């Protein structure tokens, strides 16, 4: 069984378990954790996660975050100046973080208590904002489940996006392929 097939199988088990409606938002967050080298393979098979979700009786809402920075930058008043002096963008990235969180929260609020909102494209945020910051802001708004496709590693409650040196401890539910446990 390939790693991606193992992830699909493991996810299928999690999504089929009856959901406790009394959990706090942060307890409703799942990370599908996989090696960053598997990103393209996983993206090609996201539809299979949707199929497992629907088979378990839940709705599916997929949000690809990959184009979000480009959209934000294209609309930004000072984009040309930022291209000339990228170091000046540091403070403007706070606005990007807020816009990104608002977009995800909008999807979470549009979904019902029996829906999965799935986030892909987390690697595109690397160097711009922290995934941990995004998850902490949006988690209280989760009604059903939030599933984040996480290209990185998980060890002892520490997550490392793209195997970056600085990881963070976050108590979300990690979903990994069977051979990675």
- Predicted confidence at residue 25, as pLDDT, reads 86
94: Cβ contacts below 8 Å, ≥ 6 apart: none
pLDDT category at 181 given cuts 50, 70, 90 is very low
Residue 155 lies inside a defined structural domain of this protein: yes
Residue 23 lies inside a defined structural domain of this protein: no
**51-83 pLDDT per residue, tens:** 999 999 999 999 999 999 888 888 777 656 666
Query: Can you give the residue range of the structural domain that contains 75?
Result: 3-18+29-180
- The whole-model pTM stands at 0.87
Residue 67 lies inside a defined structural domain of this protein: yes
Say how far residue 105 (Cα) sits from the centre of its chain. Answer: 12
**113-125 pLDDT per residue, tens:** 999 999 999 989 8
**8-22 pLDDT per residue, tens:** 999 999 999 999 989
**128-152 pLDDT per residue, tens:** 888 888 999 999 999 999 999 988 8
CB 139 within 8 A of CB 29: yes
Q: Which residue has the higher pLDDT, 41 or 81?
A: 41
- Predicted confidence at residue 163, as pLDDT, reads 60
Residue 24 lies inside a defined structural domain of this protein: no
Residue 41 lies inside a defined structural domain of this protein: yes
Domain count, the chain: 1
Mean pLDDT of 164-170: 55
141: Cβ contacts below 8 Å, ≥ 6 apart: 25, 105, 108, 109
pLDDT category at 180 given cuts 50, 70, 90 is very low
Say how far residue 112 (Cα) sits from the centre of its chain. Answer: 18
Residue 35 lies inside a defined structural domain of this protein: yes
């Amino acid at each position: 069984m390939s790693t991606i097939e193992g992830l699909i199988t493991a996810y299928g088990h999690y999504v089929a378990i009856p959901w406790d409606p009394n959990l706090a938002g942060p307890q409703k967050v799942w990370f599908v954790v996989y090696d960053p080298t598997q990103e393209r393979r996983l993206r090609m098979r996201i539809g299979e996660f949707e199929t497992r979700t629907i088979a378990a009786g839940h709705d599916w809402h997929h949000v690809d975050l990959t184009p979000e920075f480009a959209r934000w930058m294209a609309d930004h008043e000072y984009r040309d100046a930022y291209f000339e002096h990228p170091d000046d963008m540091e403070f403007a990235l706070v606005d990007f973080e807020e816009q990104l969180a608002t977009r995800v929260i909008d999807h979470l609020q549009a979904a019902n208590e029996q829906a999965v909102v799935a986030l892909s494209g987390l690697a595109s945020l690397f160097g711009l904002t922290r995934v941990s910051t995004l998850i902490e802001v949006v988690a209280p708004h989760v009604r059903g489940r939030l599933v984040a496709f996480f290209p990185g590693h998980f060890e002892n409650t520490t997550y490392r996006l793209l195997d970056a040196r600085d990881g963070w401890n976050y108590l979300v539910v990690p979903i990994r392929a069977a051979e990675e446990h």
